């Protein structure tokens, strides 16, 4: 489960991408995700992270977090062509398009989740 700092539940169905293979694969070849789904990418250390949408058939929202799980950036990526890169990322969350706006996720918010 992923919680916003005010206790609002953002996702109940959570998949973790922690290996090199699972991080590289991400949501590629998925046909869709539910509004209650999130994929959390956990890096070994804080780093520059780039997200691409090659072989992803639907738009998604991405949320970039630092090592304190504080939101440092967000974006909406279009299928196939979308790309976004950010420095200082420890966690990346991919969610259903519209999640960032629907839950008013802003830079500085703290998200809570445990593996």
In a domain? residue 113:
no
Average of per-residue pLDDT across 17-22: 87
In a domain? residue 112:
no
In a domain? residue 59:
yes
Look at residues 49, 99, 58 and name the one whose alpha carbon lies nearest to residue 77: 58
| N-terminal to C-terminal alpha carbon distance within the chain | 9
Query: CATH number of the domain that 38 lies in?
Result: 2.60.120.1140
CA 60 to CA 78: how far, in whole Å?
7
| % of the chain residues with pLDDT over 90 | 78
Provide the whole-model pTM: 0.92
In a domain? residue 114:
no
The range of the structural domain enclosing residue 101 comes to: 2-107
Q: Is 113 left (phi over 0), alpha (psi -120 to 50) or beta?
A: beta
- pLDDT score, position 27: 87
- pLDDT score, position 5: 80
The pLDDT of residue 115 is above 80: no
In a domain? residue 103:
yes
The total of structural domains in the chain comes to 1
Q: Which residues pair with 49 in a beta bridge?
A: 86
The pLDDT of residue 24 is above 90: no
Per-residue pLDDT reduced to its tens digit, 37-92 = 999 999 999 999 999 999 999 999 999 999 999 999 999 999 998 999 999 999 99
The pLDDT of residue 13 is above 80: yes
* Residue 26: Cβ within 10 Å count: 21
């Amino acid at each position: 489960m992923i919680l916003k700092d005010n206790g609002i539940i953002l996702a109940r169905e959570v998949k973790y991408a922690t290996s090199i293979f699972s991080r590289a694969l991400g949501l590629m070849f998925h046909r869709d995700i539910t509004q209650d789904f999130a994929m959390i990418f956990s890096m070994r250390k804080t780093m520059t992270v780039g997200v691409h949408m090659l072989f992803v058939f639907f738009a998604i929202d991405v949320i970039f977090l630092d090592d304190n799980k504080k939101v440092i950036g967000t974006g909406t990526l279009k299928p196939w062509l979308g790309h976004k890169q950010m420095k200082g990322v420890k966690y990346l969350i991919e969610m259903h398009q519209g999640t960032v706006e629907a839950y008013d996720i802003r830079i500085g918010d703290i998200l809570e989740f445990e593996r």
